[in-house]
Amino acid sequence: MTWKTAVAIAAGIGFALPAMAQDREFRIGLITPPVHVWNQEVAALNETLAERSDGRFSLSVYPSGQLGNEATMLQQLQTGALDMAWLTTAELTFRVPDMAALHAPFLVDNIEDAARVFRSDVAREILDSLPRATGTVGLCYAMIGMRQMVMRSPIDSAADLNGQRIRITPAPAISRFFEMFGAAPAPMALPAIYDALANAQIDGLDMDYESIINFRYYEHAPHLLETNHHMFGMVALVSGRVWAGLSEEDRTLIEESMQMHCDRTIDRFVDEEADKLATLREAPGIQITEGVGPEFFGDIVERWDAEWGEQTPFVARLRELVETF
Protein backbone atom coordinates (compact mmCIF):
# COMPACT_ATOMS: atom_id res chain seq x y z
CA MET A 1 0.00 0.00 0.00
CA THR A 2 1.44 3.39 -0.97
CA TRP A 3 1.40 6.35 1.43
CA LYS A 4 -1.26 8.04 -0.71
CA THR A 5 -3.56 5.02 -0.44
CA ALA A 6 -3.01 4.93 3.30
CA VAL A 7 -3.76 8.65 3.62
CA ALA A 8 -6.84 8.35 1.42
CA ILE A 9 -8.20 5.45 3.45
CA ALA A 10 -7.43 7.27 6.71
CA ALA A 11 -9.41 10.21 5.35
CA GLY A 12 -12.39 7.96 4.71
CA ILE A 13 -12.05 8.16 0.96
CA GLY A 14 -11.29 4.49 0.33
CA PHE A 15 -14.63 2.84 -0.21
CA ALA A 16 -14.86 1.86 -3.87
CA LEU A 17 -13.51 -1.48 -4.95
CA PRO A 18 -10.50 -1.17 -7.26
CA ALA A 19 -11.74 -1.39 -10.84
CA MET A 20 -10.48 -4.11 -13.12
CA ALA A 21 -8.40 -2.90 -16.05
CA GLN A 22 -10.85 -1.00 -18.23
CA ASP A 23 -10.97 1.92 -20.63
CA ARG A 24 -11.24 5.22 -18.85
CA GLU A 25 -11.56 8.82 -20.03
CA PHE A 26 -10.59 11.13 -17.17
CA ARG A 27 -12.10 14.61 -17.09
CA ILE A 28 -9.42 17.17 -16.20
CA GLY A 29 -10.03 20.87 -15.54
CA LEU A 30 -7.74 23.91 -15.60
CA ILE A 31 -8.25 27.66 -15.27
CA THR A 32 -5.64 28.39 -17.96
CA PRO A 33 -6.29 28.76 -21.72
CA PRO A 34 -5.15 26.22 -24.36
CA VAL A 35 -2.03 28.27 -25.23
CA HIS A 36 -0.67 28.02 -21.64
CA VAL A 37 2.28 25.75 -20.77
CA TRP A 38 0.08 23.86 -18.28
CA ASN A 39 -2.40 23.01 -21.03
CA GLN A 40 0.38 21.98 -23.39
CA GLU A 41 1.72 19.62 -20.75
CA VAL A 42 -1.76 18.25 -20.03
CA ALA A 43 -2.09 17.51 -23.76
CA ALA A 44 1.27 15.71 -23.57
CA LEU A 45 0.09 13.88 -20.42
CA ASN A 46 -2.84 12.57 -22.45
CA GLU A 47 -0.37 10.97 -24.86
CA THR A 48 1.79 9.58 -22.06
CA LEU A 49 -1.21 8.00 -20.34
CA ALA A 50 -2.47 6.49 -23.59
CA GLU A 51 0.95 5.06 -24.37
CA ARG A 52 1.66 3.65 -20.92
CA SER A 53 -1.82 2.16 -20.52
CA ASP A 54 -1.87 0.63 -24.01
CA GLY A 55 -4.68 2.93 -24.99
CA ARG A 56 -6.89 2.27 -21.94
CA PHE A 57 -6.57 5.80 -20.48
CA SER A 58 -7.27 9.17 -22.06
CA LEU A 59 -8.07 12.69 -20.91
CA SER A 60 -10.91 14.98 -21.80
CA VAL A 61 -9.59 18.47 -21.08
CA TYR A 62 -11.69 21.42 -19.86
CA PRO A 63 -9.51 24.57 -20.15
CA SER A 64 -10.09 28.25 -19.34
CA GLY A 65 -12.30 27.59 -16.32
CA GLN A 66 -14.99 26.01 -18.54
CA LEU A 67 -16.20 23.98 -15.56
CA GLY A 68 -16.14 27.01 -13.24
CA ASN A 69 -13.48 28.74 -11.18
CA GLU A 70 -10.89 26.81 -9.17
CA ALA A 71 -13.09 26.70 -6.04
CA THR A 72 -15.85 25.08 -8.09
CA MET A 73 -13.43 22.59 -9.64
CA LEU A 74 -12.18 21.65 -6.18
CA GLN A 75 -15.76 20.91 -5.09
CA GLN A 76 -16.29 18.82 -8.23
CA LEU A 77 -13.15 16.83 -7.43
CA GLN A 78 -14.42 16.25 -3.92
CA THR A 79 -17.73 14.79 -5.15
CA GLY A 80 -16.09 12.86 -7.99
CA ALA A 81 -17.89 14.91 -10.67
CA LEU A 82 -14.42 15.87 -11.93
CA ASP A 83 -11.59 13.31 -12.05
CA MET A 84 -8.48 15.49 -12.14
CA ALA A 85 -7.44 19.14 -12.11
CA TRP A 86 -4.33 21.26 -12.17
CA LEU A 87 -5.07 23.93 -9.56
CA THR A 88 -3.03 26.76 -8.10
CA THR A 89 -1.52 26.47 -4.64
CA ALA A 90 -3.32 29.77 -3.99
CA GLU A 91 -6.74 28.09 -4.25
CA LEU A 92 -5.66 25.27 -1.96
CA THR A 93 -4.65 27.69 0.83
CA PHE A 94 -8.37 28.07 1.67
CA ARG A 95 -8.52 24.44 2.81
CA VAL A 96 -4.85 23.78 3.60
CA PRO A 97 -3.41 26.72 5.57
CA ASP A 98 0.11 25.23 5.38
CA MET A 99 0.02 25.83 1.63
CA ALA A 100 0.04 29.60 2.35
CA ALA A 101 3.72 29.29 3.29
CA LEU A 102 4.50 28.63 -0.38
CA HIS A 103 3.27 32.20 -1.06
CA ALA A 104 5.55 33.82 1.53
CA PRO A 105 6.82 37.10 0.05
CA PHE A 106 10.39 36.99 -1.25
CA LEU A 107 10.87 33.40 -0.06
CA VAL A 108 13.27 32.83 -2.94
CA ASP A 109 15.41 35.16 -5.05
CA ASN A 110 14.91 33.45 -8.37
CA ILE A 111 12.92 30.84 -10.28
CA GLU A 112 15.64 28.18 -9.98
CA ASP A 113 15.27 28.26 -6.19
CA ALA A 114 11.47 28.27 -6.54
CA ALA A 115 11.81 24.99 -8.47
CA ARG A 116 13.97 23.58 -5.67
CA VAL A 117 11.33 24.49 -3.10
CA PHE A 118 8.55 22.80 -5.10
CA ARG A 119 10.70 19.68 -5.43
CA SER A 120 11.61 19.60 -1.74
CA ASP A 121 10.44 17.07 0.86
CA VAL A 122 9.17 19.97 2.99
CA ALA A 123 6.80 21.10 0.25
CA ARG A 124 5.72 17.51 -0.44
CA GLU A 125 4.80 17.12 3.21
CA ILE A 126 2.12 19.79 2.73
CA LEU A 127 0.44 17.55 0.14
CA ASP A 128 -0.22 14.94 2.86
CA SER A 129 -3.06 17.11 4.26
CA LEU A 130 -4.98 17.20 0.98
CA PRO A 131 -7.04 13.98 1.27
CA ARG A 132 -8.49 14.96 4.63
CA ALA A 133 -8.89 18.67 3.86
CA THR A 134 -10.12 18.47 0.27
CA GLY A 135 -11.03 14.89 -0.62
CA THR A 136 -8.32 14.96 -3.27
CA VAL A 137 -4.89 13.42 -3.69
CA GLY A 138 -2.07 15.78 -4.67
CA LEU A 139 0.29 13.85 -6.93
CA CYS A 140 2.91 16.52 -7.62
CA TYR A 141 3.71 20.20 -7.75
CA ALA A 142 4.48 22.23 -10.79
CA MET A 143 4.64 25.99 -11.10
CA ILE A 144 4.11 29.16 -13.07
CA GLY A 145 6.83 31.76 -13.19
CA MET A 146 7.57 34.23 -10.42
CA ARG A 147 4.98 36.93 -9.78
CA GLN A 148 5.40 40.49 -10.95
CA MET A 149 3.25 43.62 -10.74
CA VAL A 150 1.70 45.07 -13.89
CA MET A 151 0.25 48.55 -13.36
CA ARG A 152 -1.67 51.12 -15.38
CA SER A 153 0.34 54.09 -13.97
CA PRO A 154 4.05 54.58 -13.36
CA ILE A 155 5.20 53.33 -9.93
CA ASP A 156 8.35 54.86 -8.44
CA SER A 157 7.93 53.87 -4.81
CA ALA A 158 5.72 51.68 -2.61
CA ALA A 159 3.80 54.86 -1.73
CA ASP A 160 2.60 55.00 -5.35
CA LEU A 161 0.89 51.63 -4.80
CA ASN A 162 -1.08 52.99 -1.86
CA GLY A 163 -4.82 52.65 -2.49
CA GLN A 164 -4.30 51.03 -5.90
CA ARG A 165 -6.80 48.33 -6.73
CA ILE A 166 -4.65 45.36 -7.69
CA ARG A 167 -6.05 42.10 -8.95
CA ILE A 168 -4.79 39.02 -7.13
CA THR A 169 -5.50 35.31 -7.32
CA PRO A 170 -7.99 34.72 -4.50
CA ALA A 171 -6.02 33.66 -1.37
CA PRO A 172 -5.89 35.34 2.06
CA ALA A 173 -2.08 35.08 2.27
CA ILE A 174 -1.66 36.98 -1.00
CA SER A 175 -4.35 39.46 -0.05
CA ARG A 176 -2.59 40.31 3.23
CA PHE A 177 0.70 40.96 1.43
CA PHE A 178 -0.98 43.61 -0.72
CA GLU A 179 -2.89 45.10 2.22
CA MET A 180 0.34 45.38 4.20
CA PHE A 181 1.75 47.96 1.80
CA GLY A 182 -1.56 49.82 1.52
CA ALA A 183 -2.93 48.48 -1.76
CA ALA A 184 -6.53 47.33 -2.21
CA PRO A 185 -6.35 43.70 -3.36
CA ALA A 186 -9.09 42.62 -5.77
CA PRO A 187 -9.42 38.80 -5.83
CA MET A 188 -10.49 37.70 -9.29
CA ALA A 189 -10.25 34.51 -11.37
CA LEU A 190 -7.84 34.52 -14.30
CA PRO A 191 -10.43 34.54 -17.15
CA ALA A 192 -12.07 37.72 -15.76
CA ILE A 193 -8.94 39.87 -15.64
CA TYR A 194 -8.59 41.25 -19.15
CA ASP A 195 -12.05 42.85 -19.24
CA ALA A 196 -11.66 44.23 -15.70
CA LEU A 197 -8.41 45.85 -16.80
CA ALA A 198 -9.82 47.14 -20.08
CA ASN A 199 -12.79 48.64 -18.21
CA ALA A 200 -10.47 50.24 -15.60
CA GLN A 201 -12.09 48.31 -12.73
CA ILE A 202 -8.59 47.51 -11.53
CA ASP A 203 -5.38 49.57 -11.52
CA GLY A 204 -3.05 46.64 -11.99
CA LEU A 205 -2.42 43.01 -11.28
CA ASP A 206 -0.20 40.41 -9.67
CA MET A 207 0.91 38.10 -12.49
CA ASP A 208 3.60 35.90 -14.05
CA TYR A 209 5.34 36.52 -17.38
CA GLU A 210 3.59 33.63 -19.17
CA SER A 211 0.12 35.08 -18.63
CA ILE A 212 1.26 38.69 -19.11
CA ILE A 213 2.38 37.61 -22.59
CA ASN A 214 -0.56 35.29 -23.35
CA PHE A 215 -3.20 37.82 -22.34
CA ARG A 216 -1.28 40.99 -23.42
CA TYR A 217 -2.19 42.75 -20.17
CA TYR A 218 0.46 45.39 -20.97
CA GLU A 219 -1.94 46.83 -23.56
CA HIS A 220 -3.85 48.39 -20.66
CA ALA A 221 -1.22 48.20 -17.90
CA PRO A 222 2.13 49.07 -19.50
CA HIS A 223 4.16 49.59 -16.27
CA LEU A 224 5.74 46.31 -15.26
CA LEU A 225 7.62 46.07 -11.96
CA GLU A 226 9.97 43.10 -11.95
CA THR A 227 9.47 42.23 -8.29
CA ASN A 228 9.62 38.39 -8.23
CA HIS A 229 7.70 38.93 -4.99
CA HIS A 230 6.36 35.39 -4.62
CA MET A 231 6.53 31.97 -6.21
CA PHE A 232 3.39 30.53 -7.70
CA GLY A 233 2.71 26.82 -7.58
CA MET A 234 0.33 24.32 -9.10
CA VAL A 235 -0.80 20.98 -7.68
CA ALA A 236 -1.84 18.10 -9.94
CA LEU A 237 -4.90 16.69 -8.19
CA VAL A 238 -6.94 13.54 -8.55
CA SER A 239 -10.34 13.14 -6.95
CA GLY A 240 -9.99 10.95 -3.84
CA ARG A 241 -13.06 8.97 -4.91
CA VAL A 242 -11.58 8.29 -8.32
CA TRP A 243 -8.20 7.40 -6.78
CA ALA A 244 -9.79 4.91 -4.40
CA GLY A 245 -11.44 3.14 -7.34
CA LEU A 246 -8.19 2.54 -9.20
CA SER A 247 -5.97 -0.51 -8.91
CA GLU A 248 -2.54 -0.10 -7.30
CA GLU A 249 -0.95 -0.62 -10.73
CA ASP A 250 -3.03 2.08 -12.37
CA ARG A 251 -2.33 4.51 -9.52
CA THR A 252 1.39 3.99 -10.07
CA LEU A 253 0.98 4.48 -13.82
CA ILE A 254 -0.94 7.73 -13.32
CA GLU A 255 1.37 8.99 -10.58
CA GLU A 256 4.50 8.42 -12.66
CA SER A 257 2.95 9.97 -15.76
CA MET A 258 1.72 13.00 -13.82
CA GLN A 259 5.12 13.42 -12.14
CA MET A 260 6.83 13.41 -15.53
CA HIS A 261 4.66 16.28 -16.77
CA CYS A 262 4.88 18.21 -13.49
CA ASP A 263 8.66 17.99 -13.83
CA ARG A 264 8.57 19.08 -17.45
CA THR A 265 6.34 22.02 -16.54
CA ILE A 266 8.76 23.16 -13.85
CA ASP A 267 11.74 22.75 -16.19
CA ARG A 268 10.02 24.71 -18.92
CA PHE A 269 9.21 27.62 -16.63
CA VAL A 270 12.76 27.71 -15.31
CA ASP A 271 14.30 27.48 -18.79
CA GLU A 272 11.96 30.03 -20.41
CA GLU A 273 11.67 32.71 -17.70
CA ALA A 274 14.54 34.91 -18.97
CA ASP A 275 13.32 34.65 -22.58
CA LYS A 276 9.84 35.69 -21.52
CA LEU A 277 11.22 38.82 -19.87
CA ALA A 278 13.19 39.48 -23.08
CA THR A 279 9.97 39.09 -25.11
CA LEU A 280 8.21 41.55 -22.84
CA ARG A 281 11.03 44.09 -23.25
CA GLU A 282 10.01 44.18 -26.93
CA ALA A 283 6.26 44.53 -26.28
CA PRO A 284 4.79 47.75 -27.69
CA GLY A 285 4.49 50.57 -25.15
CA ILE A 286 5.78 48.60 -22.15
CA GLN A 287 7.91 50.25 -19.43
CA ILE A 288 9.79 47.75 -17.26
CA THR A 289 11.39 48.59 -13.92
CA GLU A 290 13.81 45.75 -13.31
CA GLY A 291 15.31 44.51 -10.05
CA VAL A 292 12.66 45.72 -7.60
CA GLY A 293 13.53 43.84 -4.39
CA PRO A 294 12.00 43.35 -0.94
CA GLU A 295 13.54 46.64 0.30
CA PHE A 296 11.08 48.48 -2.00
CA PHE A 297 8.33 47.27 0.39
CA GLY A 298 10.11 48.15 3.66
CA ASP A 299 9.77 45.59 6.45
CA ILE A 300 7.03 43.63 4.71
CA VAL A 301 8.75 40.23 4.95
CA GLU A 302 9.08 40.52 8.74
CA ARG A 303 5.47 41.68 9.11
CA TRP A 304 4.07 39.00 6.82
CA ASP A 305 6.11 36.26 8.52
CA ALA A 306 5.04 37.45 11.99
CA GLU A 307 1.38 37.13 10.96
CA TRP A 308 1.51 33.94 8.85
CA GLY A 309 4.17 32.22 10.92
CA GLU A 310 1.47 31.95 13.58
CA GLN A 311 -0.84 30.15 11.17
CA THR A 312 1.61 27.57 9.90
CA PRO A 313 5.05 26.23 10.92
CA PHE A 314 5.86 25.85 7.23
CA VAL A 315 6.72 29.56 6.95
CA ALA A 316 9.74 29.05 9.23
CA ARG A 317 10.51 25.64 7.75
CA LEU A 318 10.58 26.94 4.17
CA ARG A 319 12.67 29.99 5.16
CA GLU A 320 15.13 27.57 6.81
CA LEU A 321 15.12 25.38 3.71
CA VAL A 322 16.03 28.21 1.33
CA GLU A 323 18.90 29.19 3.65
CA THR A 324 20.48 25.85 2.72
CA PHE A 325 20.40 26.54 -1.05
SS3 45: helix
CB of 250 vs ligand BEZ, minimal distance in Å: 28
265 near ligand BEZ, rule: CB under 6 A: no
Q: Which of 170, 172, 169 is nearest to 180 (CA)?
A: 172
State the DSSP H helix or E strand holding residue 238, giving kind and residue range, or none if neither.
strand 232-239
- Packing angle of the helix pair 248-281, 3-10 (nearest 10 deg): 100
The residue within the footprint of ligand BEZ, chosen from 211, 228, 257, 312 (CB under 6 A), is: 211
The residue within the footprint of ligand BEZ, chosen from 32, 53, 164, 257 (CB under 6 A), is: 32
Closer residue to ligand BEZ (CB): 59 or 166: 166
Q: Which of 249, 292, 260 is nearest to 146 (CA)?
A: 292
Q: What is the DSSP string of 195-215?
A: HHHHTTS-SEEEEEHHHHHHH
Task: Point out the residue whose Cβ comes nearest to ligand BEZ.
Answer: 169
Closer residue to ligand BEZ (CB): 61 or 144: 144
- Strand boundaries in the chain, DSSP class E: 24-30, 57-62, 84-88, 136-144, 147-151, 165-168, 184-187, 204-208, 223-225, 232-239, 287-289
Closer residue to ligand BEZ (CB): 220 or 317: 220
The residue within the footprint of ligand BEZ, chosen from 11, 77, 107, 144 (CB under 6 A), is: 144
The footprint of ligand BEZ on residues 82-141 (CB under 6 A) is 88
Total of residues contacting ligand BEZ (CB under 6 A) = 8
Closer residue to ligand BEZ (CB): 223 or 230: 230
The footprint of ligand BEZ on residues 50-89 (CB under 6 A) is 88
169 near ligand BEZ, rule: CB under 6 A: yes
Give the span between the Cα atoms of 34 and 318, in whole angstroms.
33
Give the span between the Cα atoms of 263 and 70, in whole angstroms.
22
CB of 149 vs ligand BEZ, minimal distance in Å: 12
227 near ligand BEZ, rule: CB under 6 A: no
What residues does 42 pair with on adjacent strands?
none
Contact positions toward ligand BEZ, by CB under 6 A?
31-32, 88, 144, 169, 190, 207, 211
